[in-house]
Structure formats: structure tokens, C-alpha cells
């Protein structure tokens, strides 16, 4: 798969994420997609398959009033991309022992995205 194709798919995926459009988001995913959230070197969530991913995406929609991922840089790999990202979200709920509803959360991180058969087959979100 060519770099331009991968980049187009990822940009459309992030656009759908920013718009809370779960159906559009998952349309870019392979049926056997693997997702991991990695925070401070520890896997905090792991999902296998489009169905599990879709279920979690529906649950996560309610956490933010607004959210936005911006691409800050891309390195290409043999199977995909290593993307530097800036995340900003405004919380829709209070986080226990953390930020409160209406507070802005900002992070810098990476998304390592791989492709199979023209679809996103794995995502590692690393912060």
C-alpha cells in the first residue's frame, strides 16, 4: 500500500473520530483489527476485532463534549505509519480523582497504525 493511500485513510479516520462519527470511523478498520492503548509503558486497554472496537467507541463517545486529534508528524514503516499526534478534549463527565466536566485535557502521543488489505489492521495509541 502506498504512503499517500495510508495517509488518506488515517486522516479520514481521525476526521471521523473528531466528528464522533463511529460508523465512518469503523468503516476504515479491518474486521480483525487489534487496538491497544498504552500509557506510561503499560497496556491500559486491548481490543480484538471490529465488533469490540465499535462497542468501546460507542462507550467513549460520552466522555467528551469535544475532542480533536491533530497530526504533528508521520514516519512510514513497512506495514504502516508511526504518527505523532496532539490530542485535545473537553470532558463531558467528571473523572474520579481527576479533571472535572468542562475541563480541557491535552496530550501529545503517538499512534502506530498498520494496514492489511487496504484497511487499518492495528492501532497502538501511545502516551
The topology under which CATH files domain 3-126 is Nuclear Transport Factor 2; Chain: A, (3.10.450)
Per cent of the chain over pLDDT 90 is: 93
* CA-CA-CA-CA torsion sign (75, 8, 31, 39): positive
> Pick from 88, 73, 79: which is nearest to 113 by CA?
79
Q: Could you tell me the pLDDT band of residue 78, with boundaries at 50, 70 and 90? A: confident
- C-alpha 24/C-alpha 6 separation (Å) is 16
- C-alpha 61/C-alpha 55 separation (Å) is 10
pTM above 0.95, yes or no: no
Per cent of the chain over pLDDT 70 is: 100
> Is it the case that residue 26 has pLDDT exceeding 90?
yes
Collapse the DSSP code of 68 into the 3-class scheme (helix H, G, I; strand E, B; otherwise coil) and give the result. strand
- C-alpha 56/C-alpha 48 separation (Å) is 11
Amino acid at each position: 500500500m502506498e504512503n499517500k493511500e495510508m495517509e488518506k485513510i488515517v486522516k479520514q479516520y481521525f476526521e471521523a473520530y473528531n466528528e464522533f462519527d463511529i460508523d465512518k470511523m469503523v468503516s476504515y478498520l479491518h474486521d480483525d483489527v487489534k487496538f491497544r492503548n498504552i500509557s506510561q509503558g503499560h497496556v491500559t486497554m486491548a481490543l480484538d476485532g471490529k465488533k469490540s472496537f465499535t462497542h468501546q467507541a460507542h462507550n467513549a463517545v460520552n466522555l467528551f463534549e469535544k475532542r480533536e486529534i491533530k497530526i504533528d508528524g508521520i514516519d512510514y514503516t513497512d506495514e504502516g505509519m508511526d504518527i505523532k499526534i496532539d490530542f485535545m478534549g473537553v470532558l463531558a463527565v467528571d473523572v474520579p480523582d481527576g479533571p472535572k466536566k468542562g475541563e480541557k485535557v491535552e496530550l501529545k502521543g503517538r499512534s502506530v497504525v498498520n494496514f492489511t488489505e487496504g484497511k487499518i489492521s492495528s492501532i497502538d495509541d501511545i502516551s
